[in-house]
Structure 1
Amino acid sequence: MRNPFLHGVGGVLSADIAVPEHERELRFYSKVLTTGSTPLWQDDLTNNQGTPVIGLGERSPEYEALPLQWMPHIQVSDVAASADRTLELGGQELMHAKGDDGLSQWAVLVDPAGAAFGVIPAVDDDPDNSSHSNPIGCISWLSLVASDVSSICEFYEQVVGWSAAPADKQDGFDMRRPDGVAAAEIYPENDENEGIPSVWILSLPVGDFEESLRQVREGGGEIIKEETEAGHAVIKDPVGVYIALQDGN
């Protein structure tokens, strides 16, 4: 089973980014994501039930140190331990928020290959995980291209509690939560993914895949890789950020 959008350790609760040209970026994503007769996303980029899943923030001085990448927020059992382990394994810590009691609340980390991600405390109070099995406007998949797949898999095993299992294609690995559900895939650099950098690629479902691709081109973005039969495309937005679209039908 594959589903990144689940509560609990290893689940991906949300994602965000801080971008320049914020108004232009908001217009771009609003048009690209809200296609189809019953759009899966709203104009403010919450899903069609009003739940905030992705956040598009302005690149203020506070966030200038963050890379221009969509960063998934992965749930972990201990934020401080994940941050410490990241540094021990050759990664970086960009931000680390703590409460008045000194306890870690969240952190922004970077793996040894340069992919940024957030860690947050695990949320275990979802009464009905099955409600997220339909593409109502949730992150449908995560993928990462790596030059050294085995070491990057080991990094995430130790930092967020995933376990690696061989995937169905491209000599990649599914990264599974402790309950066995796959939350992401890490696969090697090759000719099939040429031009895709080593950053976390979020796949977001859309209501009208072809119309969304048209809006990408019209809005100043670029289609990097398109898999027509699979209804999947990796795109680059107007400021150079990579993300993927998935046919939600």
Structure 2
Amino acid sequence: MKRIAFIITLLIVSSCAKDNSNFTLKGTIKGLKKGTVYLQKIEDSVLVSVDSIKIIGDKEFQLQTHLEAPEVFYLKLDKQGEENNLIPFFAAEGVTEINTTLKNFFMDAKIKGSAQQEKLQEFKLMMDRFQDKNLDLIRDNLEAQRNNDTIQIDSSLKEYNNLIVRKYLYTINFAINNKDSEIAPYLAVSEIPDANLKYLDTINQALPPEIKTSKYGKELQGLIDERKKE
């Protein structure tokens, strides 16, 4: 009886959470015949599921939750016990749509949703360019090592260090230029937490009050306070 009562309680809580939802994630997974999709977020450094749905013969899905503020969530697919890559996205009140494929779950994802997500995609596009350049430098360095070309080795190392600096400066400038969005503190804590403290402070000071008190605004302040103790 206690077990039955516990299950009923969980169902009631889940139902209430659905009724109180202000965010919907919908979309399709081309090629999926059977599996479970999860809507997840990070709580205390651990991914937790806030909603899920089993898919059987229907590639479409819809998940819901209640958002206190814009936050990065994750779409996860579990296909017959085989967990695929996560798809991260910036959720805000309203509807976000993700269309992807089973074959390339992460890479094929097309996301349409919040203004914060648009900024995140803009940022990721530039990061992809930095990554491409990084791969070119790795290739050049390996070739130089095979040829025992010390001049080219030193040159590629300098270019690599310059690339890292450019990547950090781009992230800092992007955050400051988008200080009115939750994307600013999010990038600071997720992409450059080890940056020079003065740059993190600069981003933090540029944030308006409503962004400073957001989830990632508080995390940025906490990061700065912790770094100052070191």
TM-score, with structure 1 as normaliser = 0.22
**RCO comparison, higher one (Cα < 8 Å, 6+):** 1
User: Per residue, is there more strand in 1 or in 2?
Assistant: 1
Rg comparison, structure with higher value: 2
